[in-house]
Structure 1
Amino acid sequence: MCAETVTDTPDYKDTLNLPKTDFPMRAGLPKREPEWLARWAEIGIYDRLRETAGERPPFTLHDGPPYANGHLHIGHALNKTIKDIIVRSHQMMGHDARYIPGWDCHGLPIEWKIEEQYRKKGLDKDKVDTVDFRQECRRFAEGWIDIQREEFKRLGITGCWDRPYLTMDYRAERIIAEEFQKFLMTGTLYQGSKPVMWSPIEKTALAEAEVEYHDKESFTIWVKFKVAEFALPDLDVSDEEAGDEEREALAEAQAEAAARLQGAKVVIWTTTPWTIPSNKAVVYGETISYGLYEVTDTPEECWAEPGERFILADNLAAQTFAKARLSDDQWARVGDVSQAQLSGMKLAHPLRGAEGSNGEWDDLRDFRAADFVTDDEGTGFVHCAPSHGMEEYELYRDLGMLDQVITYNVMDDGSFRADLPFFGGHFILSRKGAEGTANKAVIDKLVEVGGLLARGKIKHSYPHSWRSKAPVIYRNTPQWFAAIDRTVGDGQDTYGTTIRERALTSIDQLVQWWPRTGRNRLYSMIESRPDWVLSRQRAWGVPLTCFTKAGALPTDPDFLLKDDAVNARILEAFEAEGADAWYKPGAKERFLGNDYDPAEWDQVFDILDVWFDSGSTHAFVLRDREDGTADGIADVYMEGTDQHRGWFHSSMLQACGTMGRAPYRNVVTHGFTLDEKGNKMSKSLGNTVAPEDVVKQYGADILRLWVAQTDYTADQRIGPEILKGTADSYRRLRNTMRFLLGAVGHFSEDDRVEPADMPELERWVLHRLAELDERVRKGYAEFDFQGVFRALFDFATVELSAFYFDIRKDALYCDGDTPRRRAARTVMDILFHRLTTWLAPILVFTMEEVWLERFPGETSSVHLQDLPETPAEWRDDALAAKWARVRRARRVVTAALEVQRADKVIGASLEAAPIVYVTDPETRAALESVAFDDLCITSAVTLTGDPAPEDAFRMPEVEGVAVAFAKAAGEKCQRCWKILPDVGTHAHPETCARCDAALD
């Protein structure tokens, strides 16, 4: 075309290579995400990955089972999303990553729901056939499993949803029973009687993991125990050391002390008045200073009398008398009380000899030193009811005196035994968990017999059942235990001979902890924990499948029936009928067979602690399934930090008891989810965030992005403002992907340029991709999703959108088929494949949308891809160092132009042709070797080493670079908008040389 033949300036817009894509700016995730879910189900992505795994190394995240009794909360969403990111990222890094979701189905929460339904109908659960009751529990769990499964899938969680594991499946119940039988057969199972945390409302023992602590107002009382016997201690001076006169003086002093102490009263303080009827002893501290105190005067309404003498810890005497309403001038210290004198005393229970007591409390109470007594609060003395306190129990157990101090005064419903004088039938708690009548009855009786010095109330942290929300008590009951310090007779002694030894060795030698603090938490718990209480007095669960010898004591060698044939019959029945078989008529005769007389054996009907169920899941998921693991060990267990005392803990104990080591190689923990202000979420406060609501408003990908952005190892916050910020980050990232889609439209392999033939800017991008590839893989491998996403987000929004894309728009839009444009498009293609796959484990729906926009097809999916391999030669640290200098200098130029734009001197950076003063020759050479005007998006740049004018623009953080503003000279190209001197001198009117060539 000749210049003289053109009469009008054409519209060059249609000649530009503008990006073309149908990828929408607005995501519309709430509406579109279900479509992708349906598509994934149709093409069976999870199963296809398993079928095509070939020789890929397996990777298994074992799912800690949620409980099947309600809609998902935000903690569920956090938990399952973290798991999903772990599974998907390891799959895309070359593993056969398996995920078998599961549910915990047995136990009290479900049983409690069914009982609530019964109570509403006026039915008595204890009168319902056990099998019928268990079937109702099963149906209840099944209903919630179906609901939760759909809610999890809506979050984009991948997994074997068609074949999840359920602890109530017949096969699972069989294997749980089989795992229990290993404890039976290897000698770690025993029946004992000790105080355990007991829920009177639910009538069952509770594990620590089933307890939460809340403030509770409790009665507090100061009780008098009279010194009933006092034996004079031996004289401290022998015949050889003193004469008769000195010995007589000592004897006289002792007699005086005896006279003062006889009839004195030791005062104890307790926050559980209901334990006083079960008192068997009082203990004192060996290092505490004690004194004898006498009341000299009393006010009205006081339970002390003038002349009454009390033994108290010196540090606590004043506050004790203050509680008794005595002023400082109404009592006095009248003498020391030595440890030797204390050791010679026996005490009387305050109810001793009370009319109508029937001799219940007539025995003198033991009085001795104990190392758990302090003078931090109370009186310096501790009343001991070993049936209701673990420290007291252990003290008298070690003394071999349990048979003298254990009582059975409190029944399973929290009431005193009917024949207990004065208190029979009184309840510690009401049937709804409020204060019962027991404490008041005890206090009133103590007042009546003169046994009370003071009373009050105290607000303190107290254990509550996390199901019924009611307080719990410590109660001595016969329970079944796993002995964690007894040698396990299974020969699997590589990591120790006891459960505790194996667990502690596993923690340090076999498991990696993410974060490392998880190791310390679990180690300290297992190091100090007591034996594991396996039994629960409930109906919905797997029974303790064992028999005891009728009339035998637990200490008798033949107390427990250990017979492989009996065990095999039980397991066979459970496989076919489930654990209900244990409760059917004739079960005892059926399982004992012809070898044993049913009349000689008792069938145990307690059920297993549900933590044993979930702790056994490694056996019927990892070991037993064809899609499990070859060695029955998971690569990862991932749950909340509360599971150090829950699932991580029980799984460790259970596996160490049955296979000699931990069932996991990595343990990842997350914190709790709080509201935006850092408060615990509560329906009553109205600050909860339901996953369903977030999904409806924003889409599941926004919720997943929130998970990826947060440091899940600590407590996280979520709320409306935080979600708005997350949605904004999503929009910025979506725009980056939209630009990429437009840039790679119609890209083919014929357009590809080898890295060696690319401009330095493209090779710098490849270098950054090599760095990011290492960061992404390391981050995913170490479960650091926040680090992965932050690196990718900063790269996409800062280094791509605000730098590389901004620079290369000109070449992409305005160049013809130039090597520079083909190199840029090649890099855009490389960026597309990496960003979509790197982000796919996090933004599962959006990256699928991006992928299908470019690669549509019936079976196409980004989730069938692996992370692309990155050539080592892309890494170029020298080039990166050079471009770091170039980008620092560019920052000064762009900042200088912003000043001119703000002052309305220019409207666009292409109107400028700045003069850049560069002091450092190496930096100046670097800038001269690149198209620095293109990098600054200006029409021209002048680089000079001359001294910069005083008024030149500078940035303090970039030394040696200054910018003087100058406007670009020439005319504006109507195609690329650069202002250049040659515009209008070419065949195409009002174009520059580059655009003229592109048009030709």
Structure 2
Amino acid sequence: MTETTTAQPEARDYSDTLYLPKTDFPMRAGLPKKEPELLARWSEMGLYRRLRETSKGRTQFVLHDGPPYANGNLHIGHALNKILKDVVTRSHQMLGYDSNYVPGWDCHGLPIEWKIEETYRAKGLDKDKVPVIEFRQECRQFAEHWVGVQTEEFRRFGVEGDFAQPYLTMSFDAEAQIARELMKFATSGQLYRGSKPVMWSVVEKTALAEAEVEYAEHQSDTIWVKFPVRTAQAQENVINIFHDPEHASEENENAGSLADAFVLIWTTTPWTIPGNRAISYSDRIAYGLYRVTSAENDFGPQAGEKLILADALAGECFEKAKLGFERLRDVGADELSPLTCWHPLKGLGGGYEFAVPLLPGDHVTDDAGTGFVHTAPGHGTDDFEVWMDHRRDLEARGIDTTIPYTVEGDGTYTREAPGFEGKAVITSEGKTGDANKAVIEALIAAERLFARGRLKHQYPHSWRSKKPVIFRNTPQWFVHMDRDLGGYGLPEGTSPAGEDTLRSRALAAIDQTRFVPAAGKNRLRGMIENRPDWVLSRQRAWGVPICVFRHEDGRLAPGPEFSHSQTLVGRIAEAFEAEGADAWFAEDAKARFLGDLVNDLDRWQQVTDILDVWFDSGSTHAFVLEKRPDLKWPADVYLEGSDQHRGWFHSSLLESCGTRGRAPYDTVITHGFTMAEDGRKMSKSLGNNVAPQDIIAQSGADILRLWVMTCDYADDQRIGKEILKGTSDTYRKLRNTIRWMLGTLAHADGATVALTDMPELERLMLHRLVELDRLVRQGYRDYDYKKVAHALVNFATVDLSAFYFDIRKDALYCDPASSTRRKAALQVIDIIFEALTRWLAPMLPFTMEESHLARHGDEADRSIHLELFPEIDPTWEIPQLAEKWAKVREVRRVVLGAIEVERREKRIRGSLEAHVTVHVTNPALYQAVADVDLADVSITSQATLTHEEAPAEAFRLDDTPGVAVIVTHAEGQRCARSWKVLPEVGSDPDYPDLSLRDAEAMREFEAKSGHA
């Protein structure tokens, strides 16, 4: 008998009947290739022009661009700055404003001039032998080149703006307006020529602003110097070495006298001793008279010498000089104030035969030194202020108050430093010269050196040449900070309320300005409160000149006493409009501008100093915001690094307050500096520089932008390989979320479901959109990008991918096409996609544009950046639903934890093999999940809810008491289509290998496809 077998039919493959995601949107971003394609697309479609067209009639929002220097490739700080600015303007555009961004460049001044000089030095040429206009032309060409390079680099960051018509401080119209602004200060009497100590770069041959100075370690000679007391009043009345003065001996009376004592000072700049004119002390410091009892040094004080110094520092000073000492008595401020001393170099060349008074000064402390401060008014701001504060009293005492010019611009001593003429403080190469040595040797010879040493400390250097600077008294052009302005520049019909000085105006303007972060207000206020008069002049060649003429008698043209000021201003400005500021340097400039306005032309001197570039950039509001019809004055926002409290924010504030009475901005935003990954400053020597161009070439600009958005820009940030790796991981999760939505929406047919007919889960997601819309809009208005970015990333990865999408995949893939649940999910995902991509568009413009085009088609005039943020229906907000589902998610978290243990132990292969019994004894949690399909929510095949106590072996989480889970194998057969294990599989006669739900889906699918 032959045995026969019947072949079993192969299991059907249902994969082609599932509504699985389908999209051409790639998983791998390929941003370095894709982003340039999108840039080209935006250029071809004229995106910037389209933005302006679609914005007509809207309220204007203006971020005014602080101009970078056009002198090299962009660094990571530029990237942070410009990306932040781009997000400000893009977000406000999508908030419904006409948010126009006009980029600008600072093209004048030392940064560019220095680069040209470097090329000269490399060729062995002397810059001073080149005609000034020819040299200026080379500077202009250099700046033009780098404007072009930086334009492309900024655009590669994804920055959108009017790069076709940027503003340049070297354009003729800008130079003309800068000149007009300067001449406003001259005409109003705010400009004056004075003499003050300024920071001077010997290497660069110019005065420097504080913003052009950085501090670096420097080793200085330190000296303690003895100033012999010259006069002392009625010493017999102040001797106090015994409790009973009547029994004091003559010897002890002499010991307590100040007449033969020395005042001891300490300084880290021995070269300033020839410029000494006073000694400062403090009435808050306890001073004493000390006597040397023994000496072990080769030079300096000998036994019996008496010195006056601070008690807190006496021991340290005598130990430094290797001296024994005893304290004789107190010395009060009332004894110090009438004292004068001899200069310690008295007798050297006959040039130091003058009295050195003691003056009280608030800057004096007993933290270091001797408690007395050597005061050279030509070599320090505090020294100068103290000298000027007491100038009238000193003159009444018969003391000459002339401030000497002891040092030339080349760093060498002048004739006003007798005995040292020609010695160099700093050489032209920026090295320490022979001045310190010469002064120290002279002090030793005069027996006035107490001790000497060396000190490593932070010392000001030029941030360009990296060489030390000096404080040097020079003739410069200043703007008064405390002169009464008499209402000049205020709007017509208004008058000043109280004091009207540049300082008072600036302080009032600060109070009316919003600062982000708020600490910026106190920082800028402190600088304005304490700053000296504003130094405008630089001794350079490339820039806008201080275009005034000065008469021998001190009058200025234009100026308050010059009757033809307006004619002269107009004449100069018109010439600059037509020819640029080069017109000032033409040979006939003096006669051309002033000749027919005066009858004593030869007595007028044409000023050739150049304006500090901070005045240029501080005037940008005048030739950008006020002149361009597509912008407005004042700006809504100025945004720069925190160093610009001393720079652009500062100069813009002073310029605008001096000419218009208020700040040119309503809000000031500051960011910190970018450090290496280990927290150290980036430098070539450390090899820890991170170039934005390298990041873009490897990963794409959107990765760089996402790093900016997720860091706290208000503080210093860090960047490096590991940090960028984390940023890339975050980006990948975001991209995958968007890609899944695009794939799922490929099956959307536009069908809609009424809100009341939607499942709770969909209504919950719509509720989340209302919450997010409020957060996102407010976050963008508050410039809190980290808050927005983290909220959207968490929404995408936690609320969507790990929760909502995870739960809804079964319904979206397997439900019948007619399913209300599936239609509602597609409708909500469509809404979520539009909201999320638009909210992220200001931050990630390339990726969101790519997503938008993938969803809606790539018609030539389409762009997500022409859209507004979505209008989210406020009626979607259901707080009680959110409260309920927060509890559901607590329970779900315990269920997922239990399933994960079973998978890890390999008792099940996946969650669809599981049946979960969920014990919920917490009444609030039980009520929340009572009407929820726990199998659906936990992505299991079966689930049972009970309020009974769970057995001891049940899975629990410590932070969710009242919930426990038992996992067992689901009963029934596995559905060949959805893979759920259910007892009902096999009960449908047409589809015995499917669940009832999947069988119904197949009937619809085959009916639609014609296979019924």
TM-score computed with the length of structure 2 as normaliser: 0.93
For residues 643-658 of structure 1, the aligned pairs below 5 Å read: 643-658=644-659
1:428 aligns with 2:425: yes
Alignment correspondent of 1:473? 470
Deviation at 1:389, TM superposition (A): 2.0
The one-letter code sitting in structure 1 at the alignment partner of 2:898 is: A
1:777-824 Cα distance to aligned partner (Å, 9 max, x none): 111111111111101111111111011111111111111111111111
Partner Cα distance (1:561, 1:788) in 2: 59
* 1:686-728 per-position Cα deviation (integer Å, ceiling 9, x unaligned): 0110001111111111000100111111110100001111111
Structure 1 residues 558, 257: CA separation in 2 closer, same or farther (over 3 Å shift)?
farther
Indicate whether 1:364 and 2:361 are aligned.
no
Give 2:959's aligned residue.
Answer: 957
Which residue does the alignment assign to 2:412?
A: 415
Q: Select 2:918's aligned residue among 902, 916, 939.
A: 916
Matching residue of 2:225:
223
Shift of the 253–991 alpha-carbon distance from structure 1 to 2, 3 Å rule, reads same
What residue is the counterpart of 1:380 in the other structure? 371
In the alignment, the residues of structure 1 paired with residue 806 and residue 302 of structure 2 have an alpha-carbon distance, to the nearest angstrom, of 91
Counting matched residue pairs gives 979
Equivalent-residue separation in structure 2 for 1:82 and 1:520 (angstroms): 23
Distance 1:437 1:691 in 2: 44
What is the match of residue 294 of structure 2?
Answer: 297
Cα offset, 1:491, TM superposition = 5.3
Aligned twin of 1:708? 709
What aligned pairs does 1:778-857 form with structure 2 within 5 A after superposition? Answer: 778-817=778-817, 818-856=819-857, 857=859
Q: Which residue does the alignment assign to 2:693?
A: 692
Q: 1:168-179 maps to which residues of 2 (within 5 A)?
A: 168-179=170-181
Amino-acid identity (%): 55
Report if the CA contact (8 A) 2:228-2:342 is conserved: yes
Could you say which residue in structure 1 is the equivalent of 2:607?
604
2:234 aligns with 232
The structural deviation recorded for 1:921 is 4.8
How much does 1:553 deviate? 7.5
Q: CA deviation at 1:247?
A: 14
Deviation at 1:196, TM superposition (A): 1.5
Equivalent residue, structure 2, for 1:508: 511
Between 1:479-488 and 1:339-348, the stretch displaced more is 339-348
Mapped partners of 1:271, 1:142: distance in 2: 43
Structure 2 counterpart of 1:243: none
The farther-off stretch of 421-430 and 36-45 is: 421-430
Contact 1:268 1:383 in 2 (8 A): yes
Q: 1:606 Cα deviation (Å)? A: 0.9
Q: 2:340 aligns with which of 326, 338, 346?
A: 346
Partner of residue 162, structure 1? 164
Query: How big is each residue's C-alpha offset from its partner over 1:702-755, in whole Å with a ceiling of 9 and x where there is no partner?
Result: 000100111111110100001111111111111101100011115243x12232
* Amino acid of the structure 2 residue aligned with 1:351: L
Q: 1:871 maps to what in 2?
A: 873
Contact 1:312 1:380 in 2 (8 A): yes
1:703 partner SS: helix
Deviations, residues 633-686 of structure 1 (Å, cap 9, x unaligned) = 111111111111111111111111111111111111111101111111111100
Asked whether the 8 Å contact 2:199–2:469 carries over to 1, the reply is: yes
Q: Relative to 1, partners in 2 of residues 1:730 and 1:415: Cα closer, same or farther, differing over 3 Å?
A: same
My pick for the range that moved more, 160-169 or 253-262, is 253-262
Out of 209, 212, 215, the residue aligned to residue 213 of structure 1 is 215
- Checking the alignment, whether the CA contact within 8 Å between 1:812 and 1:824 is kept in structure 2 is yes
Pairing partner for 1:279 from 264, 276, 287? 276
Alpha-carbon separation, structure 2, partners of 1:909 and 1:433: 73
Distance 1:650 1:446 in 2: 43
2:756 aligned residue: 756
Distance 2:556 2:12 in 1: 102
Q: Which amino acid aligns with 2:741?
A: L
Q: Residues 369 and 497 of structure 1: is their aligned pair in 2 closer, same or farther, counting only changes over 3 Å? A: closer
Provide the rounded CA distance (Å) in 1 between the counterparts of 2:98 and 2:89.
Answer: 9
Are positions 1:455 and 2:470 aligned together? no
1:18 and 2:20 correspond:
yes
Q: Which amino acid is 2:866 matched to? A: L
- Matching residue within 930, 933, 936 for 2:935: 933
1:840 Cα shift?
0.8
Distance 2:1001 2:256 in 1: 118
1:907-962 deviation per Cα after TM superposition (whole angstroms, max 9, x unaligned) = 11111121122224554343232322111111111122233223222222222222
Q: Mean alpha-carbon deviation: is it higher for 793-802 or for 299-308?
A: 299-308
Instruction: State the distance in 2 between where 1:308 and 1:619 align.
Output: 64
2:401 aligned counterpart, secondary structure: helix
SS at match of 1:917: strand
- 1:710-749 equivalence runs, <5 A: 710-749=711-750
The residue matched to 1:914 in structure 2 has which SS? strand
2:218·2:459 contact (CA, 8 Å) conserved in 1? yes
Structure 2 distance, partners of 1:595, 1:679, is 60
* Cα distance between partner residues in 1 of 2:401 and 2:563: 29
Listed one character per residue, the Cα deviations across residues 6-52 of structure 1 (whole Å, up to 9, x for unaligned) are: 96542111111111111111111111111111111110111101012
Match of 1:767 in 2: 767
Question: Which SS does the other structure have where 2:327 is aligned?
Answer: strand
Secondary structure of residue in 1 paired with 2:962? strand
SS in 2 for 1:752: coil
- 1:953 is paired with a residue whose SS is coil
Q: Partner residue of 1:620?
A: 623
Q: Which amino acid aligns with 1:347?
A: C
- Distance change (3 Å), C-alpha of 1:957 and 1:572: same
1: CA distance between counterparts of 2:766 and 2:984? 34
Deviation track 1:445-483 (CA, whole Å, cap 9, x = no partner) reads 111222212111111111111111111111111111111
Q: Per-residue CA shift, 1:69-95, capped at 9, x if unaligned?
A: 111110100111111111111111111
SS at match of 1:966: strand
Q: Offset at 1:396?
A: 2.3
User: 2:786 and 2:190 mapped to 1: Cα distance?
Assistant: 44
CA distance in 1, matches of 2:372, 2:435: 23
- 8 Å Cα contact 1:59/1:96 also seen in 2: yes
**Which amino acid in structure 2 is aligned with residue 501 of structure 1?**
S
1:2-17 → structure 2 map (5 Å cutoff): 9-17=11-19
Q: 2:520 aligns with which of 505, 518, 521?
A: 518
User: Alpha carbons of 1:820 and 1:265: their partners in 2 closer, same or farther (altered >3 Å)?
Assistant: same
Q: Tell me: CA distance 1:502–1:334, structure 2 relative to 1, closer, same or farther (3 Å).
A: closer
> Secondary structure of 1:878's partner?
helix
Q: 1:807 to 1:308 in 2, by over 3 A?
A: same
CA contact (8 A) 1:216 1:461 kept: yes
1:847 and 1:340, CA in 2 relative to 1: closer, same or farther beyond 3 A?
closer
Deviation for aligned residue 1:419:
6.9
Kindly state the Cα deviation for residue 488 of structure 1 after the two structures are TM-superposed: 2.0
TM-score between the two structures when normalised by the length of structure 1: 0.94
- How far the C-alpha of 1:211 sits from its partner, in A, is 1.1
1:267 is the counterpart of 2:264? yes
Question: Residues of 1 paired with 2:256 and 2:886: CA distance?
Answer: 92
Distance 1:254 1:773, change over 3 A: farther
* Preserved CA contact (<8 Å) 1:983 1:990: yes
Cα root mean square deviation, aligned: 2.5
Structure-2 separation of matches of 1:50 and 1:103? 22
Kindly tell me: are residues 556 and 110 of structure 1, through their superposed partners in 2, closer, same or farther at Cα, counting changes over 3 Å? closer
The structural deviation recorded for 1:302 is 3.1
User: Is this contact kept in 1: 2:410–2:427, CA < 8 A?
Assistant: no
In structure 2, C-alpha distance between the alignment counterparts of 1:525 and 1:11, rounded to whole Å: 76
Structure 2: state its 5+ residue gaps.
Answer: 1-7, 1004-1012
Counterpart in the other structure of 1:110:
112
Distance 1:178 1:558, change over 3 A: closer
Q: Offset of 1:236 from its aligned partner?
A: 8.3
Alpha-carbon distance, 1:254 to partner: 11
For 1:343 and 1:523, the matched residues in 2 are separated by 33
Q: Return the letter of the residue paired with 2:451.
A: A
Moved more, 108-117 or 317-326: 317-326
Partner of 1:576: 578
SS in 1 for 2:457: strand
Distance of 2:256 and 2:760 partners within structure 1: 101
Distance (whole Å) between structure 2 residues aligned to residue 299 and residue 927 of structure 1: 90
1:396 and 2:410 aligned: no
| Equivalent residue number for residue 1010 of structure 2 | none
